[in-house]
A = this chain, B = another copy of it.
Amino acid sequence: MRIGELARRAGVSTRALRYYEQQGLIEARRSANGYREYDEADLRLVVEIRSLMAVGFTLEDARPFVECLRSGRPSGHACPDSVAVYRRKLAEIDEEIRALVARRSEVASQLARACPGCVLSKGGEP
């Protein structure tokens, strides 16, 4: 299939696909006229990338998964590097949550001092 069909089937833009190629995540063979040609394996790669991005992975985070899939494994998360990324992302998410919860309580206490009653009520001011 060509880039337009792959984009439609994967739910991404053609621009995104070219960008992934530029970042070395996917490759395409070229037909005689220079058009990119993809197969079903490429579709699986892109779907994998998008599902990882949907949970906050960057393209760099997704790279080991892509390489894992390209090495012939049926799933991208069955390689040590992928598992390592999973563990690192879990730690990063935990840290983000901790920071956000801390911020939340700081903001809430500031609001409480500025406007007692505002925190509990859903309406306007005191």
Contact = CB atoms under 8 A, between A and B. Distances in A.
Interface of A: 55-56, 75, 77-78, 80, 82-83, 86-87, 89-90, 93-94, 96-97, 100-101, 103-104, 106-108, 110-111, 113-115, 118-119, 125
A100 B96 contact: yes
Contacts of A119: 90
Given A56-B107, A77-B111, 10 more contacts: A55-B110, A77-B110, A78-B114, A80-B125, A86-B107, A86-B111, A87-B118, A89-B107, A90-B107, A100-B100
Contacts of A106: 55
Nearest to A104: B93
A96 B119 CA distance: 18
Contact of A114 (B86, B101, B110, B113): B86
23 contacts: A55-B106, A55-B107, A56-B107, A77-B111, A77-B114, A78-B114, A80-B125, A82-B114, A83-B115, A83-B125, A86-B107, A86-B110, A86-B114, A86-B115, A86-B118, A87-B111, A87-B118, A90-B108, A90-B119, A93-B100, A97-B101, A97-B104, A100-B100
